[in-house]
Amino acid sequence: MFKNLIFFARFFLFWLLFFAVDRLVFLSIFHKKLREIPFGERIPTFYYALRLDLSMAAYLAVIPLLVFLFWYFTKRTSLNFKWVSVYNKVLIVLFGFFSIVNFNTYREWGIKINYSALAPIIETPKEAMASSGSSPFMFSMFIWAILIGSGFYLNFILLKKQINFVKTPILIKSIVAILLLGFNFLIIRGGVDVAPNNQSMAYFSKYEILNHASLNTEWNLISSILASTKTNKNPYLYFDNAAAEKQISELYKVEKDTTISILKTQKPNVVIFILESFTADLTKTLGNEEGITPNFDSLINKGVLFTNIYSAGNRTDKGLIGTLSGFPTLGTGSIVKWPEKMQKIPAISQKLYQNKYQTSFYYGGESEFDNYKAFLLSHNYQKLVDKHSFEKKDMNSKWGAYDGLVFNRQLQDINQEKQPFFSTILSLTNHEPFELPTTPKFGNKDIIQKFKSTAYYTDSCINDYLTKAKKQSWYKNTLFIFIADHGHLYPKNKYEIFQPQRYHIPLLFYGDVIKDEYQGKKFDKIGSQQDVAATLLAQLNIPHKDFLWSKNLLNPYSKHFAFFSWDNGLGFINDNHCVTFDNIGKNILYNSNPKDSAQTQINLNLGKSYLQSVYQQFIKL
């Protein structure tokens, strides 16, 4: 039996080698892009590619494996597996074609082949041929021939054609079958970690060309095709597109592009804390809760607090993009799931990097989760520290390293950093299952006690961080920004997903760099998590017009509103009214003033136009 498993080992080896050849050809074609990259940084490309290469090979192994198991349970003594050689050859030709399309797509657009590039070939082949006129045809055919020839040769020398069965008890056969199927499934998924395989697993470098080379072409294409059902048609068409876009453009129009300047300098260091589930309800100042966040509440006296801020969505991936890119949620998801689109939107890190800032990102969990890493490395974060940067003994939480450890690591690194620097910290301890390295402050008998205890712990870590930071020379020239990634059901345990209170989050600008006259000041303007980008960049006198969905909260002329969404639901809030809407049921779920039918309709239309326009831009990216 175990001798027969060598067949599948050879099958996997064949595909890993074929993908490696394809990758080598890719790097050879784009060798000019590699000139400034040290040779030592190119080699890991093949290592970081293994996870998705193995996953793709496991997908391809499903059919041979099922056929093998079918005959394994019969009384046959041998099985001719020559058809697998033919199966591989067909795939080699097909994958070779995908590769030459990928090379030309990358040459033209700088992205890997995806549904957008493949669809025209299938749907409108004549137009596709016309548009590919600039592609080097003979060179493409030559590359295709190399890939086919290499693939056929590897297939010939590695694949075994005959399998012999040994008489085995049915119980043993059943166990073997379960183990084989289970093992193959785990390879497809990428193991038993929290994060299943996604494009981020292949990202490792600050050089985009290496990340793209590492990313398995076929795996990425299949992922793009599966996701395309949600991206090539707008599911939120309520109005004429032009009318919807006009409504939204009016929202962001300002009488005068100006700002209240609250900083003592225009080029401070900037540290953004994106705090897991740090809802406004946790605080004394905004939620009237005693003793959960005493340190955060005390910071308000020396900071600028925005009291009416709402998160873009209800998950961390949405909050991360909302905060750092000022891009809204898409109702059913976040743009971070589509790397080829996500890399086209701006980010604070890009702007500051262009202005000579040193950029870094710290997270105690898996940066591959929900494609965070793909976003970070494609938006000029020069340094990324995640759970893989810590020792195993420090991985005491299901999600990774506790906040205190991560905060201390950032402090340790930033002390060696050249100024000015921009550093982002994404916390994680205040997340289910709410594990702690210390005695829980509020107990752990129920979920609310656990939630309050982990929030208290994160708050204490903030205090410890700032206490240590104040001793550093860079502290007085540093702006600290504290914001939650999203709201939460707890600790109140009374607001549903469609109620605005569920999205209410704190936003605090803090530090000695804030002018004395603004320390302790509160701004009650209704705004969004998305507005951090424009607000911060305006303070630094950096243009932010490409952040289309972000407004400057410190511009007296900007309008007061926020949009938020969840799975197929949307909400729109301004000074007068809040309304939320279920796109599936086509009904209003929440209305702050149902007696005012006129304002209800106005806000409902604004919310619909907003989501429609966001998704329309997403499609065009």
DSSP letters spanning 433-502: T---SS--TT-SSSHHHHHHHHHHHHHHHHHHHHHHHTTSTTGGGEEEEEEES---STTTT---TTSGGG
Query: CA 587 to CA 102: how far, in whole Å?
Result: 44
The answer to whether residue 93 sits within a structural domain is: yes
Q: What's 307's domain CATH number?
A: 3.40.720.10
Domain match, 581 and 535 both? no
Is position 276 annotated in a ligand binding site? Answer: yes
> Is the alpha carbon torsion for 437, 438, 440, 441 positive or negative?
negative
Query: CA 221 to CA 252: how far, in whole Å?
Result: 36
The answer to whether residue 475 sits within a structural domain is: yes
Of 534, 558, 582, which residue is a domain's last? 558
| Maximum CA extent, the chain | 87
Which residue segment(s) compose the domain that 145 sits in?
5-228
Domain match, 367 and 482 both? yes
Task: Quote the number of domains for the chain.
Answer: 3
| DSSP assignment string, 143-207 | HHHHHHHHHHHHHHHH---EEE-----HHHHHHHHHHHHHHHHHHHHTSSSSSPP-GGGG---SS
Domain match, 138 and 214 both? yes
Give helix 170-189 / helix 44-72 axis angle, nearest 10°. Answer: 150
The answer to whether residue 497 sits within a structural domain is: yes
Using CA atoms of 369, 353, 359, 270 in order, give the dihedral in degrees to the nearest 10: -110
Domain match, 553 and 580 both? no
Domain match, 198 and 319 both? no
**Which pLDDT score, from 0 to 100, does residue 1 have?**
56
Is position 329 annotated in a ligand binding site? Answer: no
Strand 78-80 to 383-385 pairing: unpaired
The answer to whether residue 118 sits within a structural domain is: yes
Domain match, 497 and 547 both? yes
433 by Cβ neighbours in 10 Å (0-12 / 13-18 / 19+) ranks as: exposed
The list of the chain residues with pLDDT below 50 reads 124, 126-128, 130-131, 133-134
3-class SS string, 244-272 = HHHHHHHHHCCCCCCCCCCECCCCCEEEE
Of 537, 558, 579, which residue is a domain's last? 558
What would the pLDDT profile of 282-325 be if each residue is shown by its tens digit?
Answer: 999 999 999 999 999 999 999 999 999 999 999 999 999 999 99
Of 558, 582, 608, which residue is a domain's last? 558
The answer to whether residue 196 sits within a structural domain is: yes
Domain match, 543 and 607 both? no
Domain match, 40 and 173 both? yes
- Which residues are known catalytic residues? 316
Domain match, 525 and 427 both? yes
Is position 496 annotated in a ligand binding site? Answer: no
The answer to whether residue 549 sits within a structural domain is: yes
Domain match, 381 and 517 both? yes
Query: CA 525 to CA 553: how far, in whole Å?
Result: 7
Identify whether the C-beta of residue 275 lies closer than 8 Å to the C-beta of residue 485.
yes
Element (H, E) at 90: helix 82-109
Provide the residue type at 356 as one letter: K
Query: CA 355 to CA 572: how far, in whole Å?
Result: 35
The answer to whether residue 117 sits within a structural domain is: yes
The answer to whether residue 240 sits within a structural domain is: no
Domain match, 214 and 325 both? no
SS3 for 566?
strand
Smallest CA-to-CA distance from 510 within 269, 258, 282, 267 is with 269
| DSSP assignment string, 46-74 | HHHHHHHHHHHHHHHHHHHHHHHHHHHTS
> Is the alpha carbon torsion for 62, 67, 68, 74 positive or negative?
positive
Domain match, 617 and 519 both? no
Identify whether the C-beta of residue 382 lies closer than 8 Å to the C-beta of residue 407.
no
Distances (CA, A) of 234 to 118, 181, 313, 332, 611: 20, 38, 19, 11, 10
